[in-house]
Every structure is written in structure tokens, then in C-alpha cells.
């Protein structure tokens, strides 16, 4: 049994936990991280930090739940081929989450959530450029924008209202015709509609390498303990954290355990409706991917992602908890969809499934526990964990230092529930 005392303990060493640790270390804080699968281990490749689409998605201001999604929710959830699906065995456990999701998909709630997400994303690109420079990862950040492709004219026309709303939230977007799209990405099949181009978007062409650089920076100054944090207890002088072979006392603790954060939040005194989305990707090794920027065929619910030495096709949403095995059907649908765009693709070289920490309002949980600021929350980022990691780190560092964060944290606090 190890007995450790530290200033700040961070539970979770995914991209959010690592980004928080890096920021606190930069500000001269003593930090210890706790994670059963520290970054760099093979098993860490089951983490969302590794398997994501690599986009710093400053344009992704819409929550998953919108009035359009609500209208189509029954067919979306129970169609095996839908980009938003549910494992039927998980339905009873998910009913409370789904009820909240439906309420958050109503017009007023969806607009409020979009404005909160937009406020968080407004500095994501700048924060990532700053972080990339500090950890020698600037070359991994690519400034080529991102595309949403609309295969039909009707889809393109319907996107005009969507893009007008995004512009009202500060997103830069250009609607382009099929000829312009063809010039930008000549390997894509011709479409009738056109595309939305987000010129300010950046992406990581090797998320795993970026996480490795971030982990190396943290390891140089802080210990990452390879165990589980099972128990969280407040004391007059701080917080005790225990797990297999560990008893740790910290002045403050930060819960950043992604999809595994709910039970720890409950021990902190916060009932947070966190559940799990299961994301998938498939990859083809190739020297030159057929697209030069992340490209989303909007009706298919996935991204075509040009990574270093490979094409990654990532996306879809499956609600199914933390214990069920990967769905061969979801993987097969990604392969099928990719081949409808690029028919010459062979069998993929690898596939992946990981867990996204998902909130019913698509808004992360960032800030102090309602029972006291010695425990802070930093999870629930859904599809935006990579995008918002350095943003979350800056906000948490402000709280720990006693500074006023640049944005109003009321919409992201655990006490909002």
C-alpha cells in the first residue's frame, strides 16, 4: 500500500486530465494523476483520447439533442443502421438519461445549450495552438479547415438555416457549390448539393502522437499512478483517494475520468446524469489519404479523417454502456459507408471502439462540487473532449488559482442538475 500526499490529485489521465495537469504544472503546482491505464500503455488505445476524429471542432456548436433529432428520435434509436442508435439491452438503464435528453432537445433548451457550447469553443483553436507550442506538437496541428458535404440539393438548402445559426454564434463558414468542392477534394465523388466549409477549423493528423507528447511533458514533472480510484472522501484538510494499493491525500482533487466519472461524482455529493456513448473507427493504412481535411458526409454520420499514414473513418453514436463488447454491425456500417464513397478501399487494417462521456445536454461538467471547492469536476465533453481539453484546463486552473474565469461557468457547473 502506497501512502502519498500531494497538493492536487487528478483522477484520469486522458486528454482532459493530462491537459489540466500540464496547465497546473506550468503554473508551478504539485500534481499527481491516477489512472488504471496511463497514456502510453497499449490498453490506453481504447480511450476516446486516442480514437477520435482529430478535429478541433470550433464549428461543432450544436448539441446532439435538437428539435430535429427529437422529432426523429424513435426511428433513430431503433434503426440498426442509424448514425444514432441504442443497444436494446441497455434501454432500461438508459431511460432516465433519454428522458433528460428529450427535454434538452426542445427548442429553447437546445438553443441555450448551443450558446454554452459556442462560448466554450470560442478559444479552442487558440488554446490548442498554445498547448501545441508548449509540448513541441505544433506540426501535428493542420490548418486546412473542415467540410460538411451535402449529397443532395435539398440537403444543401436545408443547411443554410443551420449555418446561419452557427454564424450567429461566431462560427466562420462558407457554403460552396459542387464545382468548388471538387476543386478542394477531387477524390470525392460528385455531389448534387455542395458543402459547408469551415476555414478556421484545425485538426490533429496524429492524435495518439499528440497525446504522447502531452503525457511526456506531464511525466517529466508529475507522477502518474497506474491504479483505480475507487473511493473519494472529504476531510477537514482536503480529500482522500483510495484504490488498489493506494491511499492518497490531496489538498484538492479533480475528477477527470471521462465516462467513468459518475460514481466518483456521486461520492463527491453531486448527482450527475452522465452516461456513455460508444464511438467507433476503422482505418486503412496508406501513404496518401484520399481527402486532405476532415470531411463529413452529413447523411452518414461519420468523418473521413486524413491521418499520418492512414485514413481514419470515425463516428456514429451508440448508446450502450461500458460493458458490452464492440458491435460488429457498427464497424461493418462504417466500412460499407466508406466504400460507397471510395469503392476501391480494401479490408480495413484495424478497427476501434471507445467510450465518450455523454451528458443529456451535450454540455460538459466543469467546476466545483456543490459540497465544496476542494473537489472539482472536468468531464462529460461528449464529442468535444479533444477540442475542449485545453479550454477546460484553463478554466480549472483559474478556479484553483482563485482567478475569475473568462466565461460564466453557471451553465457547466454540476449544480445545474
Helix 385-401 to helix 15-26 angle (10° resolution) is 40
Given pLDDT bands bounded at 50, 70 and 90, which one contains residue 417? confident
- The residues, ordered by sequence, that sit 6+ positions from 384 with a Cβ below 8 Å of its Cβ are 57, 60, 117, 120, 121, 364
Q: Give the start-to-end residue ranges of the domains of the chain.
A: 2-49+209-273+362-416, 55-106+135-203+275-358
Question: Per-residue pLDDT for 1 more than 70?
Answer: no
CATH of domain 55-106+135-203+275-358: 3.30.9.10
* Percentage of the chain modeled with pLDDT above 90: 79
Instruction: List Cβ<8 Å contacts ≥24 apart for 168-173.
Output: 169/61, 169/114, 169/115, 169/118, 170/118, 170/122, 171/58, 171/59, 171/61, 171/118, 171/198, 172/59, 172/198, 172/199, 172/200, 173/59, 173/197, 173/198
Instruction: Summarize pLDDT for 288-329 with one digit per residue, the tens.
Output: 999 999 999 998 889 999 999 999 999 877 887 777 788 888
Using one digit for the tens of pLDDT, what is the confidence trace for 62-71?
999 999 888 8
CATH number of 2-49+209-273+362-416: 3.50.50.60
CA–CA separation, 131 and 137 (whole Å)? 8
The 10s digit of each residue's pLDDT in 138-194 is: 999 999 999 999 999 999 999 999 999 999 999 999 999 999 999 999 999 999 999
SS3 14: coil
Distance CA 184, CA 156 (A): 17
Q: In whole angstroms, what is the distance from residue 194 CA to residue 180 CA?
A: 8
Bridging pattern class, strands 295-297 and 275-285 = unpaired
Could you give phi then psi for residue 154, rounded to 5 degrees? Answer: -65, -40
pLDDT band at 47 (very low <50, low <70, confident <90, very high): low
What is the pLDDT, as a whole number, of residue 42? 39
Q: Which three cell numbers stand for residue 124?
A: 479552442
pTM of the model: 0.95
Amino acid at each position: 500500500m502506497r501512502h502519498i500526499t500531494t497538493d492536487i490529485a487528478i483522477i484520469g489521465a486522458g486528454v482532459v486530465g493530462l491537459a489540466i495537469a500540464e496547465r497546473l504544472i506550468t503554473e508551478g503546482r504539485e500534481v499527481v494523476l491516477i489512472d488504471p491505464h496511463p497514456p502510453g500503455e497499449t490498453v490506453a488505445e481504447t480511450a476516446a483520447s486516442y480514437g477520435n476524429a482529430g478535429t478541433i471542432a470550433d464549428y461543432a456548436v450544436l448539441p446532439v439533442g435538437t428539435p430535429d433529432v427529437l422529432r426523429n428520435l424513435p426511428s433513430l434509436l431503433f434503426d440498426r443502421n442509424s448514425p444514432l442508435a441504442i443497444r436494446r439491452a441497455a434501454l432500461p438503464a438508459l431511460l432516465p438519461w433519454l428522458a433528460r435528453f428529450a427535454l434538452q432537445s426542445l427548442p429553447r433548451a437546445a438553443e441555450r445549450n448551443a450558446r454554452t457550447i459556442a462560448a466554450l469553443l470560442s478559444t479552442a483553436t487558440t488554446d490548442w495552438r498554445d498547448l501545441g507550442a508548449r509540448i513541441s506538437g505544433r506540426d501535428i496541428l493542420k490548418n486546412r479547415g473542415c467540410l460538411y458535404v451535402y449529397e443532395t440539393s435539398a440537403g444543401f438548402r436545408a443547411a443554410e438555416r443551420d449555418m446561419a445559426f452557427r454564424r450567429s454564434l461566431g462560427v466562420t463558414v462558407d457554403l460552396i457549390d459542387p464545382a468548388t468542392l471538387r476543386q478542394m477534394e477531387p477524390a470525392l465523388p460528385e455531389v448534387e448539393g455542395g458543402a459547408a466549409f469551415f476555414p478556421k477549423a484545425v485538426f490533429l493528423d496524429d492524435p495518439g502522437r499528440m497525446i504522447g507528447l502531452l503525457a511526456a511533458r506531464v511525466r517529466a514533472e508529475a507522477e502518474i499512478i497506474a491504479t483505480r480510484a475507487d473511493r473519494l472522501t472529504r476531510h477537514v484538510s482536503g480529500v482522500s483517494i483510495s484504490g488498489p494499493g493506494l491511499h492518497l491525500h490531496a489538498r484538492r482533487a479533480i475528477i477527470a475520468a471521462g465516462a467513468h466519472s459518475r460514481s466518483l461524482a456521486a461520492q463527491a455529493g453531486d448527482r450527475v446524469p452522465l452516461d456513455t456513448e460508444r464511438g467507433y473507427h476503422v482505418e486503412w493504412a496508406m501513404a496518401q489519404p484520399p481527402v486532405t481535411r476532415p470531411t463529413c458526409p452529413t447523411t452518414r454520420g461519420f468523418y473521413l479523417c486524413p491521418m499520418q499514414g492512414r485514413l481514419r473513418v470515425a463516428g456514429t453514436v451508440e448508446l450502450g454502456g461500458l460493458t458490452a463488447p464492440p458491435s460488429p454491425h457498427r464497424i461493418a456500417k462504417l466500412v460499407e459507408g466508406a466504400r460507397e464513397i471510395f469503392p476501391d478501399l480494401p479490408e480495413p487494417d484495424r478497427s476501434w471502439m471507445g467510450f465518450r462521456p455523454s451528458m443529456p445536454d451535450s454540455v460538459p461538467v466543469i467546476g466545483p462540487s456543490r459540497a465544496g471547492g476542494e473537489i472539482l469536476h472536468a468531464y462529460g465533453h461528449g464529442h468535444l473532449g479533444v477540442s475542449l481539453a485545453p479550454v477546460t484546463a484553463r478554466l480549472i486552473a483559474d478556479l484553483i488559482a482563485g482567478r475569475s474565469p473568462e466565461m460564466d461557468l453557471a451553465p457547466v457547473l454540476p449544480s445545474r442538475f
